[in-house]
Amino acid sequence: MEGKREQAGLPGEAVIRSLVEQALDALPSAYAPYSRFHVAAALLCRDGSVYTGCNMENASYPAGLCAERAAFAKAVSDGKREFSGIAVLGGRDGHVTDWCPPCGICRQVMREFAGPEEFWIVLARSLEEYRVYTLEQLLPESFGPERL
Protein backbone atom coordinates (compact mmCIF):
# COMPACT_ATOMS: atom_id res chain seq x y z
CA MET A 1 0.00 0.00 0.00
CA GLU A 2 2.80 2.43 0.84
CA GLY A 3 4.31 2.16 -2.64
CA LYS A 4 0.98 2.96 -4.31
CA ARG A 5 0.44 5.89 -1.97
CA GLU A 6 3.88 7.34 -2.73
CA GLN A 7 3.39 6.85 -6.48
CA ALA A 8 0.19 8.87 -6.28
CA GLY A 9 2.12 11.70 -4.56
CA LEU A 10 0.64 10.86 -1.18
CA PRO A 11 2.83 10.36 1.90
CA GLY A 12 4.15 7.01 3.07
CA GLU A 13 3.31 5.46 6.43
CA ALA A 14 6.51 6.69 8.13
CA VAL A 15 5.87 10.30 7.08
CA ILE A 16 2.27 10.16 8.28
CA ARG A 17 3.22 8.67 11.64
CA SER A 18 5.94 11.26 12.17
CA LEU A 19 3.59 14.16 11.44
CA VAL A 20 0.80 12.75 13.59
CA GLU A 21 3.28 12.27 16.47
CA GLN A 22 4.44 15.86 16.15
CA ALA A 23 0.86 17.14 16.07
CA LEU A 24 0.05 15.06 19.16
CA ASP A 25 3.08 16.56 20.90
CA ALA A 26 1.85 20.07 20.05
CA LEU A 27 -1.72 19.47 21.24
CA PRO A 28 -1.10 20.33 24.94
CA SER A 29 0.09 23.80 23.88
CA ALA A 30 -3.33 24.74 22.50
CA TYR A 31 -4.93 27.75 24.14
CA ALA A 32 -8.69 27.12 24.11
CA PRO A 33 -10.21 28.43 27.36
CA TYR A 34 -13.58 29.23 25.75
CA SER A 35 -14.44 26.28 23.51
CA ARG A 36 -12.08 23.85 25.27
CA PHE A 37 -11.59 22.34 21.79
CA HIS A 38 -7.85 21.88 21.31
CA VAL A 39 -6.39 21.51 17.81
CA ALA A 40 -2.82 20.89 16.64
CA ALA A 41 -1.17 20.58 13.24
CA ALA A 42 2.19 19.52 11.82
CA LEU A 43 3.09 21.06 8.46
CA LEU A 44 5.67 19.36 6.21
CA CYS A 45 7.73 21.66 4.00
CA ARG A 46 9.13 20.34 0.73
CA ASP A 47 12.66 20.65 2.16
CA GLY A 48 11.71 18.16 4.91
CA SER A 49 11.37 20.64 7.75
CA VAL A 50 8.25 20.47 9.92
CA TYR A 51 6.40 23.30 11.65
CA THR A 52 3.78 22.66 14.30
CA GLY A 53 0.93 24.89 15.35
CA CYS A 54 -1.92 24.87 17.83
CA ASN A 55 -5.11 26.86 18.06
CA MET A 56 -5.12 30.07 20.05
CA GLU A 57 -8.49 31.45 21.11
CA ASN A 58 -9.24 35.01 22.14
CA ALA A 59 -12.07 36.62 24.12
CA SER A 60 -12.73 38.54 20.90
CA TYR A 61 -13.48 35.37 18.92
CA PRO A 62 -12.45 36.59 15.45
CA ALA A 63 -8.97 37.36 16.79
CA GLY A 64 -8.29 33.67 17.41
CA LEU A 65 -6.02 31.57 15.22
CA CYS A 66 -6.44 28.00 14.00
CA ALA A 67 -3.65 25.44 14.44
CA GLU A 68 -3.16 25.06 10.69
CA ARG A 69 -2.75 28.78 10.11
CA ALA A 70 -0.41 29.02 13.12
CA ALA A 71 1.83 26.36 11.53
CA PHE A 72 1.77 28.14 8.17
CA ALA A 73 2.56 31.48 9.83
CA LYS A 74 5.59 30.01 11.60
CA ALA A 75 6.86 28.42 8.40
CA VAL A 76 6.27 31.46 6.21
CA SER A 77 7.94 33.74 8.78
CA ASP A 78 11.00 31.49 8.45
CA GLY A 79 10.97 31.98 4.67
CA LYS A 80 9.31 28.70 3.69
CA ARG A 81 7.04 28.81 0.67
CA GLU A 82 6.79 25.22 -0.58
CA PHE A 83 4.76 22.63 1.31
CA SER A 84 3.89 18.96 0.85
CA GLY A 85 1.18 18.31 3.41
CA ILE A 86 -0.19 18.72 6.91
CA ALA A 87 -1.51 16.51 9.70
CA VAL A 88 -4.40 17.86 11.78
CA LEU A 89 -6.03 16.52 14.92
CA GLY A 90 -7.99 17.81 17.85
CA GLY A 91 -10.74 17.31 20.36
CA ARG A 92 -12.52 18.56 23.44
CA ASP A 93 -10.15 19.21 26.34
CA GLY A 94 -7.30 17.87 24.21
CA HIS A 95 -8.76 14.36 23.88
CA VAL A 96 -8.78 13.27 20.23
CA THR A 97 -11.87 11.16 19.62
CA ASP A 98 -13.06 12.17 16.16
CA TRP A 99 -11.84 13.64 12.87
CA CYS A 100 -10.93 17.32 12.91
CA PRO A 101 -10.98 18.68 9.34
CA PRO A 102 -9.60 22.16 8.61
CA CYS A 103 -12.07 25.03 8.48
CA GLY A 104 -12.70 26.84 5.20
CA ILE A 105 -10.31 29.70 5.99
CA CYS A 106 -7.49 27.24 6.70
CA ARG A 107 -8.19 25.38 3.47
CA GLN A 108 -7.93 28.67 1.57
CA VAL A 109 -4.62 29.50 3.28
CA MET A 110 -3.30 26.08 2.26
CA ARG A 111 -4.43 26.81 -1.30
CA GLU A 112 -2.40 30.02 -1.34
CA PHE A 113 0.82 28.04 -0.95
CA ALA A 114 0.11 24.70 -2.60
CA GLY A 115 -1.44 23.17 -5.67
CA PRO A 116 -4.70 21.44 -4.79
CA GLU A 117 -3.77 18.17 -6.53
CA GLU A 118 -0.41 17.79 -4.82
CA PHE A 119 -0.92 19.07 -1.26
CA TRP A 120 -2.29 16.42 1.12
CA ILE A 121 -4.07 16.62 4.46
CA VAL A 122 -3.94 13.88 7.08
CA LEU A 123 -6.83 13.83 9.53
CA ALA A 124 -5.87 11.68 12.50
CA ARG A 125 -7.56 10.20 15.53
CA SER A 126 -4.42 8.32 16.59
CA LEU A 127 -1.12 7.08 15.17
CA GLU A 128 -2.95 4.10 13.69
CA GLU A 129 -6.22 5.71 12.66
CA TYR A 130 -6.07 8.41 9.99
CA ARG A 131 -7.43 9.49 6.64
CA VAL A 132 -5.47 11.15 3.83
CA TYR A 133 -7.04 13.63 1.43
CA THR A 134 -5.72 15.95 -1.24
CA LEU A 135 -6.54 19.62 -0.87
CA GLU A 136 -8.52 19.30 -4.09
CA GLN A 137 -10.81 16.77 -2.40
CA LEU A 138 -11.46 19.12 0.52
CA LEU A 139 -11.56 22.35 -1.49
CA PRO A 140 -12.91 21.63 -4.98
CA GLU A 141 -13.07 24.41 -7.57
CA SER A 142 -10.70 26.49 -5.46
CA PHE A 143 -9.60 30.06 -6.02
CA GLY A 144 -5.83 30.41 -6.19
CA PRO A 145 -3.15 32.93 -7.13
CA GLU A 146 -3.12 31.81 -10.76
CA ARG A 147 -6.68 33.17 -11.17
CA LEU A 148 -5.59 36.76 -10.52
Q: What is the pLDDT of residue 9?
A: 75
* Residue 4 scores a pLDDT above 60: no
- Ordered DSSP codes for 34-86: TT-EEEEEEEEETTS-EEEEE-B--SSGGG-B-HHHHHHHHHHHTT---EEEE
To the nearest 10 degrees (0 to 180), the angle between helices 104-113 and 67-77 is: 30
Active site residue: 21, 68, 112, 118, which one?
Answer: 68
State pLDDT tens for residues 12-34: 999 999 999 999 999 999 999 99
Integer-rounded Cα radius of gyration of the chain? 15
Q: Tell me if residue 2 is catalytic.
A: no
Give 8's pLDDT tier (boundaries 50, 70, 90): low
Could you give the 3-state DSSP secondary structure of residue 27? helix
Per-residue pLDDT, averaged over 71-96, amounts to 98
* Residue 6 scores a pLDDT above 90: no
